């Protein structure tokens, strides 16, 4: 890491501490450091003392952030790889975070015939896709047997049917889509867009 990376790291850690009301002592307890050493490592421009890589990993886990986020690497313009997308959905599906359903979409696809310029003529075709949503309420999948359904019902009786984490995710997604569309169409400038998204993330993390 360059010195600039270290300063960005320290600034981002300080911001997370401020946003989540975390003291230097509390962060130190979480990563196995004294408060005084945390203070030294957070001093901007102090190139003689900084967190070790192991401590950075612990800090990232503590705040539920990636290392890339902590050091300021911006991936907004870089699309996820197919492997990353598949890993993401495998995790959501295997932990029953999302519900799957079939969704049909009419799309324009190249047909078997060419036009006068030798280009394919497009035709309408209905394609069935796998679609997903984050349920707000606990619903067992149709393939669960009676014993697994009984477990779900017992959990509903104990905790209630609401999936509060999913409710928060759905609220964030709705706000994000509305804000992004306004930003993309020029209603919001980039500064306003990031201010709003940061505000939504703070609500999400509470």
| CA 57 centroid distance within chain | 18
Q: Are residues 101 and 40 in the same domain?
A: no
- Tens place of pLDDT for every residue, the chain, 206 residues? 444 467 888 889 999 999 889 999 999 999 999 999 999 999 887 666 788 888 888 998 899 888 878 887 655 556 678 887 888 888 888 888 999 899 999 999 998 898 888 888 999 999 999 999 999 998 888 889 988 889 888 888 898 999 999 999 999 999 999 999 999 999 999 889 888 988 888 887 77
Beta partners for residue 137, in sequence order: 162
Q: How far apart are CA 119 and CA 111, in angstroms?
A: 10
Assess whether 143 and 120 both reside in one domain.
no
Residue 75 in domain:
no
Kindly report the CATH number assigned to the domain that includes residue 56.
1.10.260.40
Specify the pLDDT at position 27.
95
- Structural domain contains residue 91: yes
Domain membership flag for residue 76 = no
Number of domains in the chain: 3
Same domain, 89 and 65: no
- Residue ranges of alpha helices (H) inside the chain are 3-19, 24-31, 35-41, 53-63, 67-70, 82-94, 146-159, 164-184, 190-205
Q: Which domain holds residue 204?
A: 135-206
**Domain stops at, among 133, 151, 173:** 133
Tokens of residue 103, six digits: 């969704």
Cα torsion angle, 24, 47, 67, 195, sign: positive
Q: What is the pLDDT of residue 6?
A: 76
Say what the pLDDT of residue 25 is. Answer: 95
- CA gap 109, 197 in Å, rounded: 36
17 and 52 in a single domain? The answer is yes
Pair (139, 201) in one structural domain: yes
Give the pLDDT score at 127. Answer: 96
């Amino acid at each position: 890491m360059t010195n600039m990376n270290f300063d960005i790291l320290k600034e981002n850690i300080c911001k997370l501490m401020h946003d989540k009301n975390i003291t230097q002592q509390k962060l130190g307890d979480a990563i196995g450091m004294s408060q005084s050493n945390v203070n030294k490592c957070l001093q901007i421009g102090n190139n003689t003392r900084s967190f070790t890589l192991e401590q950075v990993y612990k800090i990232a886990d503590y705040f539920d952030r990636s290392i890339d986020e902590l050091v300021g690497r911006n991936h907004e313009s870089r699309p996820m790889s197919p492997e990353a997308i598949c890993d993401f959905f495998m995790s959501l599906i295997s932990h029953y975070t999302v519900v799957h359903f079939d969704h049909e979409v009419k799309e324009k696809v190249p047909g078997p015939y060419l036009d006068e310029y030798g280009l394919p003529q497009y035709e309408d075709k209905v394609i069935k896709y796998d679609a997903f949503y984050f349920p707000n309420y606990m619903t067992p999948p149709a393939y669960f047997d009676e014993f697994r359904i009984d477990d779900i019902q017992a959990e509903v009786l104990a905790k209630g049917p609401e999936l509060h984490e999913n409710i928060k995710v759905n609220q964030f997604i709705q706000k994000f889509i509305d804000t992004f569309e306004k930003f993309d169409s020029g209603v919001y400038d980039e500064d306003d867009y990031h201010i709003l998204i940061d505000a939504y993330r703070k609500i999400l993390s509470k």
